[in-house]
Amino acid sequence: MDHSQLLSVFKSRFQSSPRIFRSPGRINIIGEHTDYNDGFVLPAGVDREIVMVIGSNNSDQFNVYSLDEGEEVSFTLNDYTSVSNGWAQYIIGIIDQLKKAGHTVPGIDCVFGGDIPIGAGMSSSAALECATLYGLNELFGFDLDKQAIALMSQKAENEYVGVNCGIMDQFASVFSEEKKAIRLDCRDLSYELFDLDLKDYQLVLVDSMVKHSLASSEYNVRRAECEEGVALLNGKYPNVTSLRDATITQLESVKEGMKPKVYKRCNYMINEISRVTKATEAMNKHDLKELGRLLYETHEGLQHEFEVSCEELDFLVNFTKNREEVLGARMMGGGFGGCSINLIKTSMIEVFSAEIQNAYKKEFGKESSIYMVNSANGTSEIIQS
């Protein structure tokens, strides 16, 4: 994202000397709902980001202007809880975490903006949190390492914003590297980088532009169903403390005592955790056909076993099947709306985009958006020339 406009707006509004920080959005190639089951995920940072221009103003006042919203909020460490603007909660949540950790946070002036589509599942909120914390850490020398930045950003969203997200979004925003995907172990936060060499193909997101109201309530139901499955497995296999530890053979041995829905959730989850490892093996072999097959397999599981898809997402994925230019597709994210992620031959993206948008509008009477994404480096400072 071009930061010159942000810098120009900053200089017109404030007198302090600024520095510029950025943090990317992310995609998740495979590994859906695995984070709260101690499994693996496979995210990558993308070339859409939040950019923040921040300067210390030598006061106790925080002045933050959102270029995209055209709004400014001002507050101090004594009255920040009175700020009601939704976008400001992510920034204030970071300041709240720093304060709770015993850090003295001096006042700042800030202008920020971004090109991450809101609600498309690319984690604009995590990018905003991580850019804020990284910038404050660099400005004021809090001596936080990258893992601490990711964890504190997650905690800000959990505790201040009130969204019970896992660690994947913030971790990917901070740790991502260009042309790499991160296999993150959500149990111990160990990770490994894999080459994201897509050759003549590209990852393309198709945004359904819908978000069904079931998303948040059903998310909690799925967590509870997975926990119910673990409790039954643990009764026979004490070493199974999460679905990460379980095998399909073990699941089959307790199937009779399980509710059918719980069995389906567990079956999907055990296979999905395994699919992340299979995907990295395919990437190591540069086997894009196998990677695409795994994407389709994941969607089948999310649609029929985990039951978090919706008719719009199913339509978008089904549209890609038996098309030579598409190797694989699936719904991406928590479910009940958002985007599909597609592995498409680069030379055919323009034709594919027009055809899927026309078909989607004909079927549902609404527009869809297309986002071509490339991998990107994690949170960093932009050095002014």
Name the residues annotated as catalytic.
Answer: 169
* CA distances to 46, 63, 132, 135, 365 from 16, in Å: 31, 11, 17, 15, 49
CA distance linking residue 22 with residue 381, whole number of Å: 6
Q: Which two three-digit tokens encode residue 188?
A: 């111990």
* CA distances to 73, 87, 107, 211 from 69, in Å: 11, 9, 22, 21
Q: Are 107 and 56 in contact (CB under 8 A)?
A: yes
- For residue 238, the 8-state DSSP code is T
For 290-329, the DSSP string reads: HHHHHHHHHHHHHHHTS----HHHHHHHHHHTT-TTEEEE
Q: Are 374 and 197 in contact (CB under 8 A)?
A: no
Residues in CB range of 91: below 8 A, 6 or more apart: 64, 110, 128, 129, 132
Q: Are 50 and 91 in contact (CB under 8 A)?
A: no
Q: Are 5 and 37 in contact (CB under 8 A)?
A: no
DSSP H helical ranges for the chain: 4-13, 88-100, 124-140, 146-156, 168-175, 214-236, 248-253, 260-284, 288-304, 311-320, 349-364
Q: Are 352 and 344 in contact (CB under 8 A)?
A: yes
Query: If you count them, how many residues does the chain have?
Result: 385
CA distance linking residue 33 with residue 41, whole number of Å: 9
- Helix, strand or coil for residue 184? strand
